[in-house]
Structure 1
Amino acid sequence: MAARIWRNWAAAATLAWATAVSLPAGAQQEPPGRAARLSQPDGGVQWSGADGNWQAADPNWPFTAGDSIRVAAGSRAELHAGAHALRLQGPAELGIDALDDNDLRLTLRQGSLNLRVRDMAPDERIEVNTQNLAMLVDRPGEFRVDLEPGSTRVLARAGTATLFGENGESATLAPAQQARYVGRNLSAIAAQGAGPRDALDQWAADRSLAEDRSPSAQHLSREVLGYQELDAHGEWSSTMEYGTVWYPRTTIANWEPYRHGQWRWVDPWGWTWFDDARWGFAPFHYGRWVQIGPRWAWAPGPRGPRQFYAPALVGFAGAPAPRPPNFNRHRTPGTDWFPLAPGQPWRPGFGGNPRDPGRGNVGLPLPAPLRNTQRERPPGPSIATPAPGFQGGRADQERRDRWQRDQEWQQQRRQQQQQQDQNRNEMHQRHNQVRQEQLQRQDQMQQQQRALQEQQMRQMQQLRQQQDQQQRQLQEPQRQQERFMRDQRDQRDQRDHSERREQREQRQDRPQPPRAAPPQDLRQPGERGGRFGNRD
């Protein structure tokens, strides 16, 4: 079964490559509607694309199939692929083999992975491969995969999964169960219960709890990457026309969306907007922007429908921007761009037609459609920002200052995280110390109680012995009297017996008088000569 799985993936990859090669020049295959994002990187996290060029992690970079994440020893990383959370403990390396609307296939090359599968669509497929096996998630839950030299340990704290070997072997991983496998044919060397949580699982549980309590999750689909960052940088409000909207808190005068950032080319989506704000992922890749009064508000649409990722939900206008050096992929879009209003269709500015031009418009009111988003500005509140050379909309010095502030903020966040981890470890150590002291006190109290019980038992035995001795002493005169009375009775009985014996002997020695004959008339009937005798 596992061999068929791997062969199917290889065949699909070959077919996709052949299809891409067969596409005519200028055409582009529709990129996936789902990406992955690093939500908790630190200085020890790097990533690389298919070219193998490792570089520092960027929290606003969208990851897709072919990318890899590397975590240094002592560091942690958290990725979100749709609604699913992937948490790594360094040293670790994770490869994203497939990531699209329905499939998520990962390869753990080193270290430990904690996988939280929140929800699964009926046709969704989630798979984790290692050097020993392939794990296919059957039901949502929390899973753990540890790669060790020559073996793989898998654990399911919740949910179920099916494990596959190289030659079609399969096994079921039930909730609260873990197992260790060697080789590539599912040879289990140990199977037991889930066991306690270690540092990675506890950190993952804390992060999952924070996500469950996120206020933004009440208004957004969890498929929206980066929704956790909105909690601390804005507030939600309800409107009659656009439903629930989010107002960012900024310190920049006359702030406008898609103005403070830069454009970068990201395969397979093309030109992608990278905002300078830490929270600038979800509002610039999902939903629409609308100006309500003097403030800009982000309208994500209703919470229920699934949201799809887009590189930038803007329309382009003006003459094509100058090509960057050594850039021959596509023509550049216009030098002006503006955020799309609710209901306006999205069309890429670099060519190609998306299969979902209404991306980000689910549940939003539809205005008059644009004939050409690249050449026509939308009616109502919108802007057009000039961009010489297709760069960001602010001066380089201001961008460098913001980048420096963002780096300082990230450094502070890392220090705070390290301090929190240190405090958590200290609390854990204090808890263990207090627990040990409590156990020692309990042992001492139990020993004292046992000693006291033994002493009380000895005292009670001594008391019973004393009582028995006193009772014997009190009963001794009575026993002596009883013995005396018994002796007297025995002596009296002996005297009586002797007297009776002497009397019998005297009666025997006394001569007996002769017995007189009975009278004639007193003879017994039947005697001869009697009154009733036989006369014959």
Structure 2
Amino acid sequence: MKARILTGVAAAALLCGIVPARADDDPPARVGRLADVSGAVSLRPDPAQPWAVAARNQPVTSGMSLWTEPQARAALEIGPAELHLGDQAELDIQRLDDQAFVAQLGQGSVNIDIADLQAGETWTVDTPRGTVTLDRPGEYRIDAGTTQDPTQVVVFSGEAQIAGGPDGPVDIQGGETGVAGGSDPFSYTLAQSADHSPLDDWADGRIRAASATPRYVSRAMTGYQDLDAAGTWHETPTYGTVWYPTDVPADWVPYRYGRWDHDDRWGWTWVDDQPWGFAPFHYGRWARVDDRWGWVPGPVEAHPVYAPALVSFFAGAAVGAAITAAADSHPIGWYPLGPGETYRPPYRVSDTYVRNVNVTNIRNVEINRINNTVTNIHNGPTTIVEDGANRRFATVVPAQVLAGRQPVAHAALPVAADQLDHARLTPVAALPHPEAPAAGQ
């Protein structure tokens, strides 16, 4: 295996492909996942961009908004929490990270189920008649209300507060409903009941069908809920506990059945076709074990760090004449990173971020207290691996497939494994610029 040995800040810079940033500039470690869509649901990346059709497995982060049409619903997972939007609801997410969730519910209803809260983590939702704070794990429903209908905070379990009235915050206990009515100043009352709505029944059904307690991964890992139903866990002598998907096509390869999307925070981001296709493509590594693909989540960490796609790209002239002849003049390819292989973020990040995004899968990594760079404590300086274990299973497509956010599987080019074994990698900077999203994306 080829390797270049680099030390100190230079290693971290090349790992990122760019000059390291300050930790304050890093993208958030936690994201949400659009886990279920029923009916017409739209997503807006930020207030300056237009609304677009939302799709399952899209990552959701600060600045994004969700909108549901009549008769539509949407489910959003954020680690151990799930949010369920009813029809004609608008949710503007102002902050989403490890420390806080802050959103504005402009209209409609949202059911929120929080299975766990980290120390110091806060959840607040602004409504037309006050700010709701969710103080404990539990199940809640917030109805924004209208000019005719009151704002309601229904606490099935847990504890909440609503603030904004003249008499200060109102505490709402499990089994109670806080009601805010009128116009400013608002009037707040408590009802000794917590009635279920059809949205609550839908939310409860989804939660019961998912994994209540994750196995072998952290509860902070977004998307873990689908793993037990969609695959099996087995212990291996080489990688420890490995998860195997049970229902995939015969020629299935990780990062082939889906499409690429583009986000200004992370760049090119993988959106998988499989209903379970979030956690295994944004955390951990993939390995061939006994002629089948297995996902290796790595050691359980309190705060796993999201990545847009854990792959190595190669492209353009650097792919080599054999691949160019087999494809077109501008092919681009990628393969899933294997266990122990370092992820090199193609977006501006700090040295601390490089360490954190890799630490769950590079077991012998620690942060150097002096220069804050990633260091392998057993093998000396950080090694940048050019030839990954999974390179012969790479997917190669014409560059416009990635740039145009087109489905990958049907566009994949037939490139022999021995050609892939000899392909040279190109810096991530060579990836194409995104084209405008096509209609319906």
Normalising TM by the smaller chain, what interval?
0.7 to 0.9
Contact 1:67–1:96 (8 Å) recurs in 2: yes
| Equivalent residues of 1:261, 1:276 under 8 A apart | yes
1:212 CA drift (Å)? 4.5
Q: Which residue of 1 aligns with 2:112?
A: 115
Cα distance change, pair 213–139 in 1 and its aligned pair in 2 (3 A) = closer
> How is 1:134-213 mapped onto 2 (pairs within 5 angstroms)?
134-150=131-147, 151-165=150-164, 169-182=168-181, 183-185=183-185, 187-188=187-188, 190-213=189-212
Whole-Å separation in 2 of the counterparts to 1:168 and 1:387:
62
Matched, 1:372 2:370: no
Kept after mapping to 1: 8 A contact 2:36/2:56: yes
Aligned-pair CA distance for 1:129: 0.5
Deviations 1:6-48 (A, max 9, x none): xxxxxxxxxxxxxxxxxx9996931111111111202321111
Mean Cα displacement is larger for which, 220-229 or 313-322?
A: 313-322
Q: Which amino acid aligns with 1:193?
A: Q
Instruction: State the one-letter code of the partner of 2:156.
Output: R
In structure 2, how many angstroms separate the alpha carbons of the residues matched to 1:357 and 1:81?
22
Residue 342 of structure 1: CA displacement?
1.9
Could you say which residue in structure 1 is the equivalent of 2:328?
Answer: none
Counterpart CA distance in 2 for 1:399 and 1:47 is: 25
Aligned equivalents of 1:143 and 1:282: distance in 2?
25
Q: Cα 1:352–1:388, aligned 2, differ >3 Å: closer, same or farther?
A: farther
Q: In the TM superposition, what is the alpha-carbon distance from 1:300 to its structure 2 partner?
A: 0.8
CA–CA distance in structure 1, aligned partners of residues 247 and 140 of structure 2: 39
Partner Cα distance (2:208, 2:400) in 1: 41
CA distance in 1, matches of 2:317, 2:115: 43
Task: Judge conservation of contact 2:20–2:351 (CA < 8 Å) in 1.
Answer: no
**In structure 1, the residue corresponding to 2:399 is in which secondary structure?**
helix
Shift of 1:157: 1.4
Cα distance between partner residues in 1 of 2:290 and 2:363? 18
Does the aligned pair in 2 maintain the 1:344–1:361 contact within 8 Å? no
Structure-1 residue corresponding to 2:303: 306
- Cα 1:77/1:259, change in 2 over 3 Å: closer
Aligned CA-pair RMSD: 3.4
1:271 equivalenced with 2:268 (yes/no): yes
Q: Which amino acid aligns with 1:209?
A: R
Offset, 1:141: 0.8
Q: Aligned equivalents of 2:300 and 2:359: distance in 1?
A: 12
1:258 corresponds in structure 2 to 255
Superposed displacement of residue 351, structure 1 = 4.8
TM-score normalised according to structure 1 size: 0.60
Aligned match of 2:73 in 68, 73, 76?
Answer: 76
Distance across 2 between alignment mates of 1:391 and 1:226: 26
Question: Which structure has the higher relative contact order (CA within 8 Å, separation 6+)?
Answer: 2
Match of 1:91 in 2: 88
Deviation at 1:79, TM superposition (A): 0.8
1:78 to 1:398, Cα distance in 2 relative to 1, 3 A? closer
Unaligned runs of 5+ in 1: 1-23, 323-333, 403-536
**Conserved in 2, the CA contact under 8 Å of 1:342 and 1:365?**
no
Q: Following the alignment from structure 2 to structure 1, what is the Cα–Cα distance between the partners of residues 310 and 407?
A: 26
Question: More strand by proportion, 1 or 2?
Answer: 2
Match of 1:44 among 40, 44, 64: 40
Deviation at 1:371, TM superposition (A): 3.1
Q: Distance in 2 between matches of 1:220 and 1:203?
A: 26
**Identity of aligned pairs, percent?**
35
Determine if contact 2:57/2:278 at 8 Å carries over to the other structure. yes
Using the TM superposition, give the Cα deviation of residue 164 of structure 1 relative to its aligned residue in structure 2, in angstroms: 1.8
CA contact (8 A) 1:32 1:100 kept: yes
Report the more deviating stretch, 279-288 or 224-233.
224-233
The one-letter amino acid paired with 2:170 is A
Q: Which amino acid aligns with 1:39?
A: A
Instruction: State the alpha-carbon separation in 2 of the partners of residues 320 and 130 from structure 1.
Output: 54
5+ long unaligned stretches in structure 2: 1-17, 320-330, 365-375, 413-441
CA distance in 1, matches of 2:157, 2:197: 16
| Matched ranges for 1:451-490 at <5 A | none
Structure 1 residue 284: deviation in Å? 0.8
* Residue-pair matches, total: 362
Tell me how far 1:167 sits from its aligned partner.
6.9
Q: 1:169-198, CA deviations, whole angstroms, 9 ceiling, x for partnerless residues?
A: 22212221112113455521x321233322
**3-state DSSP class of the match of 2:218?**
coil
Query: Separation in 1 of the partners of 2:333 and 2:207?
Result: 41
Query: SS state of the match for residue 194, structure 1?
Result: coil
- Normalized per residue, the structure richer in helix is 1
Measure the CA separation in 2 of the matches of 1:32 and 1:397: 27
Contact 2:26-2:353 within 8 A present in 1 as well = no
The aligned amino acid for 2:43 is W
CA offset digits 1:83-115 (Å, max 9, x no partner): 211111112111111112211101111111111
User: Given residue 300 of structure 1, which amino acid in structure 2 is its aligned partner?
Assistant: P
Paired residue for 1:389?
Answer: 399
Tell me the CA shift for residue 68 of structure 1: 1.0
In structure 2, distance between residues paired with 1:157 and 1:233: 30
Which of 281, 286, 292 aligns to 2:283? It is 286
Letter in 1 for 2:154: L
Cα 1:371–1:353 shift into 2, 3 Å? farther
Residue 209 of structure 1 deviates from its aligned partner by: 2.0
1:83/1:397 Cα in 2 relative to 1: closer, same or farther (>3 Å)? closer
The letter of the residue matching 1:194 is S
